[in-house]
């Protein structure tokens, strides 16, 4: 048992598949009760990292502890403490939802009465009580995903790993999964580790986010902290009457203005670290310069911009362009090599 109170701790974790490094000296901590997001494109190393933390893969080097147990030295204890909702939908289609939960309860050695009660409770929680005794084959993708979350909770784990839990779901089903996770957070002290490549999902759900790219964590923190790390996290958009060049000249040199550019439609975009304080100064300067403001808006940069800032690439472009040539550890090894 590790003395560190963190629910998850990774120290210099590295995983190589031949010459390809899937996880590259990753270090991070997740506090108890925290919802921690790993955000990155396909092939970034998220799933490999989760596989190491859930004892499916042995790291090439480094150490990790989950719920205080060493994933290499005490994998059985780790398995007893974690629930995992894998990326693929793996509930048995020929079984009912209730049977799926009951059998998983048996895997954890739960007594019959306890697992029956737990199955009933969880099915009610995920909104599947009415369909509990229907075969899973008749479920929609969203229902199956909710069942998988219930399955991951059957033994009351201390840490729940969710690997791309809303992948392939329609917006309504995604929202249902989000609500379920928020409900879980509200009702328990459960620590949740969530991997996703959806910005909005990470932003909405996670207490802290780590941006992972090329197997490395390039930045981590709360959403606000991540945005603040980017130079000019507020964007002010202006439309002025007349020639915008004179307005641009007037705005240059103001203390809060970090970057200024003209869009193709003639609008001016100003990058600033503090939009609230920069705006009055800009208005005053423009009035002095005789420019008349037609429209003005302030918006904070998105996680997409944060990702772009740290990696130099757009997340969605990455998802499509880089996933193919990389040896995806999901499919590269024919079978998981679990630490025994």
Note whether 95 binds another protein by CB under 8 A.
Answer: yes
Within 275-334, which residues bind another protein (CB under 8 A)?
334
Nearer to another protein, 136 or 202 (CB): 136
CB of 223 to another protein, least distance (A): 29
In contact, 126 and 148? CB cutoff 8 Å = no
Of the residues 172, 264, 288, 335, which one makes contact with another protein according to CB under 8 A: 335
Per CB under 8 A, the segment of 3-11, 32-40, 106-114, 278-286 that binds another protein is 106-114
Of the residues 72, 103, 218, 254, which one makes contact with another protein according to CB under 8 A: 103
CB of 179 to another protein, least distance (A): 24
Angle in degrees, 0-180, between the axes of helices 141-152 and 97-107, rounded to the nearest 10? 30
String marking each residue 10-49 x if it binds another protein according to CB under 8 A? ----------------------------------------
Per CB under 8 A, the segment of 80-88, 262-270, 279-287, 311-319 that binds another protein is 80-88
Of the residues 86, 214, 215, 329, which one makes contact with another protein according to CB under 8 A: 86
In contact, 251 and 270? CB cutoff 8 Å = yes
Per CB under 8 A, the segment of 21-29, 103-111, 173-181, 204-212 that binds another protein is 103-111
Nearer to another protein, 56 or 306 (CB): 56
Of the residues 82, 160, 211, 268, which one makes contact with another protein according to CB under 8 A: 82
Nearer to another protein, 165 or 214 (CB): 165
Number of residues this chain uses to bind another protein (CB under 8 A): 29
- Residue 76, CB-side half-sphere exposure with 13 Å CA sphere: 3
Note whether 79 binds another protein by CB under 8 A.
Answer: yes
Note whether 217 binds another protein by CB under 8 A.
Answer: no
Which stretches of the chain bind another protein, using CB under 8 A? Answer: 54-56, 76, 79-80, 82, 84, 86-88, 90, 92, 94-95, 99, 103-104, 106-109, 135, 334-338, 340
């Amino acid at each position: 048992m590790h003395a560190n109170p963190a629910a998850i701790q990774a120290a210099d974790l590295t995983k190589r598949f031949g010459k390809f490094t899937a996880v590259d000296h990753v270090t991070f901590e997740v506090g108890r009760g925290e919802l921690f997001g790993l955000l990155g494109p396909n092939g970034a190393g998220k799933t490999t990292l989760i596989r190491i933390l859930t004892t499916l893969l042995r790291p090439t080097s480094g150490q990790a502890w989950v719920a205080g147990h060493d994933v290499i030295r005490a994998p059985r204890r780790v398995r007893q403490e974690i629930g995992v909702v894998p990326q693929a939908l793996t509930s048995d289609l020929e079984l009912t939802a209730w049977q799926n939960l009951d059998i998983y309860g048996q895997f954890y050695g739960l007594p019959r009465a306890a697992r029956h009660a737990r199955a009933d409770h969880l099915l009610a929680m995920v909104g599947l009580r009415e369909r509990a005794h229907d075969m899973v084959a008749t479920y929609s993708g969203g229902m199956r995903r909710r069942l998988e979350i219930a399955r991951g909770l059957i033994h009351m784990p201390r840490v729940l790993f969710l690997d791309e839990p809303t992948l392939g779901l329609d917006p309504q089903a995604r929202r249902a999964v989000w609500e379920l996770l928020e409900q879980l957070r509200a009702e328990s002290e459960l620590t949740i580790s969530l991997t996703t490549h959806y910005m909005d999902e990470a932003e909405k759900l996670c207490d802290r986010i780590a941006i992972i790219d090329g197997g490395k964590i390039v930045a981590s923190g709360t959403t606000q902290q991540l945005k603040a790390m980017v130079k000019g996290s507020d964007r002010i958009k202006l439309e002025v009457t007349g020639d915008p060049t004179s307005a641009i000249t007037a705005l240059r040199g103001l203390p809060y203005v970090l970057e200024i550019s003209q869009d193709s439609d003639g609008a001016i975009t100003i990058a600033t670290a503090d939009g609230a304080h920069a705006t009055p100064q800009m208005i005053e300067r423009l009035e002095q310069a005789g420019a008349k403001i037609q429209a003005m808006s302030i918006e904070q940069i998105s996680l997409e911009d944060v990702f772009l800032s740290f990696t130099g690439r757009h997340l969605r472009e990455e998802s499509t362009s880089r996933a193919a040539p990389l040896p995806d550890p999901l499919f590269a090894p024919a079978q998981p090599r679990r630490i025994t």
